[in-house]
C-alpha cells in the first residue's frame, strides 16, 4: 500500500509541476519535457512492479489501467505519446517474459498493446477536440483584442480617439489630485483647414491630418506624452511637467515640427504652408479641476490663440488665471515656406500630396 501511495505521489508531482510550466517559452520547454519524461519513467517502473514482480502469476490488469490513463493525459502530441507508450510496452513485455510464465507474459503483451492502442485512439480524438477549441478560443481572443484596439484608435491617424482620450484624461486628473503633479493639456487645430479642403480636396486634407498624426506619434516617443485626435482637425496632447519652461519648450517643438512639414497652403492667411494654433492649459498639482474643466480650459486657450491671429501658442496657467502668448508667428516666416536641408522648399510625401 505504501508503494502504491509513494509512486502515485511522485507521478502526481511530476505531472503537476510540468503542467504549471506548460507555456510557450522555448527556454523552459526542456524542463517541461524532462518532467513528463520522469513521469512516464516512474509510471513504467511502477507498472513493472505491480504487474510483474508483485504479481507474477496473474495478468497485469493494473498496468493496463495505468497505460490507458497515461494516454488520456494528452500532454504530449498524440504521436509522441504513442512512441513513449510503445517503449513502455516493449520494456514491460521484456520483463514479463523474464519473470512470468510464457502464457501470462504473452497475455500481458497482447493486453498492453491493446491498452496502448485504445488509449491512443482516445488521446488522438480528445487532443483534436481540445486543440480545435484552443485554436478557436485563441482566434476569438485575437479578434477581441483587435476590436478593442480599433475601438480606441483613430482610423485615419492611428492616434488615440476620443474614447481613449476620456480614459486618459481621468488618469491625468487623478495624478494631479493625488500625486500633486502638474498636468499640461495642449489642444491644437489646423489653421484654415476648411479652406485647405475646399482648395486641395478632402483626400489631400486627410493626408495633412495623417502627417500631423505622424508628428504627434514622434512627439509621443520623444517626450512621453499622450496624444489623441478629438475631432475633425483638432488634436490634444496630455503630459506631466512641473517646470513651465519645459512645458513651453514642448509646445514650441510641436509647432515647429508641423511647420517643418512644409505642406503648401495657398489659402492660409497666416503662412503659405500648413500651420496650427495651440492652446496650452497648465493645471497645477492638487487643483480640484474635473476632466471636463481641464478640456474646456484647454479649448478656451485654443480659441484665444485663434483670436490672437492663429499659428501661435497661448498658455493659461491655473496658478496665474490669465492668458499669455508663448510664441507669436515671427514676421520673417510669412515671406516663404521653410526650406529643407539642401536649401530646397520642403515637399510633402507623395502619399500626402
pLDDT at 298: 94
Query: Quick check: 28 pLDDT over 70?
Result: no
Highest mean predicted confidence (pLDDT) among 47-61, 64-78, 170-184, 331-345:
170-184
Give 132-173 pLDDT, tens digit per residue: 677 777 787 777 777 777 778 888 999 999 888 988 899 888
Q: Is 237 left (phi over 0), alpha (psi -120 to 50) or beta?
A: beta
Q: How confident is the model at residue 329, as a pLDDT?
A: 45
Q: What mean pLDDT do residues 237-264 have?
A: 93
- Sorting pLDDT into bands at 50, 70 and 90, what band is 194? very high
> Is 343 a residue whose pLDDT tops 50?
no
* Strands 323-327 vs 276-283: parallel, antiparallel or unpaired: unpaired
DSSP per position, 21-46: T-SS-HHHHHHHHHHHHHHHHHHHHH
pTM of the model: 0.57
Residue % of the chain over a pLDDT of 90: 35
269-307 confidence digits (pLDDT tens): 999 999 999 999 999 877 777 889 999 999 999 999 999
The topology (CATH level 3) of 162-352 is Alpha-Beta Plaits (3.30.70)
pLDDT-derived band at 337 (thresholds 50, 70, 90) equals very low
Backbone angles phi, psi at 323, to 5 degrees: -85, 140
Please answer whether residues 338 and 266 qualify as being in contact, where contact means their C-beta atoms are separated by less than 8 angstroms: no
Quote the CA–CA distance of 18 and 39 in Å, as a whole number: 9
For 96-103, what is the mean pLDDT? 76
| Interval 210-229 mean pLDDT | 94
What angle, 0 to 180 degrees and rounded to 10, lies between the N-to-C axes of helices 2-20 and 26-48? Answer: 160
Contact yes or no for 261/353 (Cβ under 8 A): no
Share of the chain above pLDDT 70, in %: 67
Amino acid at each position: 500500500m505504501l508503494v502504491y501511495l509513494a509512486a502515485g505521489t511522485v507521478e502526481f508531482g511530476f505531472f503537476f509541476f510540468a503542467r504549471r510550466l506548460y507555456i510557450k517559452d522555448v527556454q523552459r520547454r526542456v524542463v517541461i519535457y524532462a518532467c513528463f519524461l520522469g513521469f512516464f519513467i516512474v509510471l513504467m517502473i511502477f507498472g513493472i512492479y505491480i504487474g510483474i514482480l508483485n504479481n507474477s502469476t496473474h495478468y497485469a490488469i493494473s498496468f493496463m489501467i495505468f497505460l490507458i490513463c497515461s494516454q488520456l493525459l494528452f500532454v504530449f502530441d498524440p504521436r509522441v505519446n504513442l512512441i513513449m507508450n510503445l517503449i513502455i510496452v516493449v520494456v514491460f513485455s521484456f520483463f514479463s517474459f523474464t519473470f512470468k510464465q510464457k502464457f501470462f507474459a504473452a497475455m500481458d503483451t497482447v493486453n498492453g498493446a491493446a491498452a496502448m492502442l485504445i488509449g491512443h485512439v482516445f488521446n488522438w480524438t480528445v487532443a483534436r477536440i481540445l486543440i480545435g477549441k484552443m485554436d478557436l478560443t485563441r482566434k476569438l481572443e485575437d479578434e477581441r483584442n483587435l476590436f478593442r484596439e480599433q475601438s480606441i484608435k483613430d482610423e485615419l491617424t492611428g492616434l488615440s480617439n476620443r474614447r481613449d482620450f476620456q480614459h486618459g484624461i481621468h488618469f491625468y486628473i487623478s495624478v494631479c489630485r493625488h500625486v500633486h503633479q502638474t498636468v499640461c493639456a495642449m489642444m491644437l487645430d489646423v489653421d484654415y483647414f476648411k479652406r485647405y479642403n475646399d482648395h486641395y480636396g478632402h483626400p489631400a486634407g486627410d493626408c495633412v491630418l495623417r502627417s500631423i498624426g505622424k508628428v504627434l506619434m514622434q512627439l509621443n516617443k520623444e517626450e512621453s506624452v499622450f496624444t489623441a485626435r478629438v475631432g475633425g482637425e483638432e488634436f490634444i496632447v496630455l503630459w506631466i511637467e512641473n517646470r513651465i519652461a519645459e512645458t513651453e519648450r514642448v509646445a514650441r517643438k510641436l509647432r515647429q515640427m508641423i511647420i517643418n512639414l512644409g505642406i503648401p497652403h495657398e489659402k492660409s492667411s497666416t503662412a503659405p504652408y500648413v500651420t496650427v494654433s495651440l492652446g496650452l492649459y497648465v493645471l497645477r498639482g492638487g487643483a480640484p479641476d474635473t476632466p471636463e474643466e481641464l478640456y474646456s480650459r484647454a479649448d478656451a486657450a485654443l480659441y484665444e490663440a485663434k483670436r490672437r491671429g492663429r499659428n501661435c501658442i497661448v498658455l493659461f496657467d491655473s496658478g496665474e488665471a490669465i492668458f499669455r502668448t508663448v510664441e507669436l508667428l515671427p514676421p520673417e516666416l510669412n515671406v516663404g515656406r521653410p526650406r529643407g536641408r539642401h536649401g530646397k522648399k520642403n515637399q510633402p510625401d507623395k502619399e500626402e500630396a
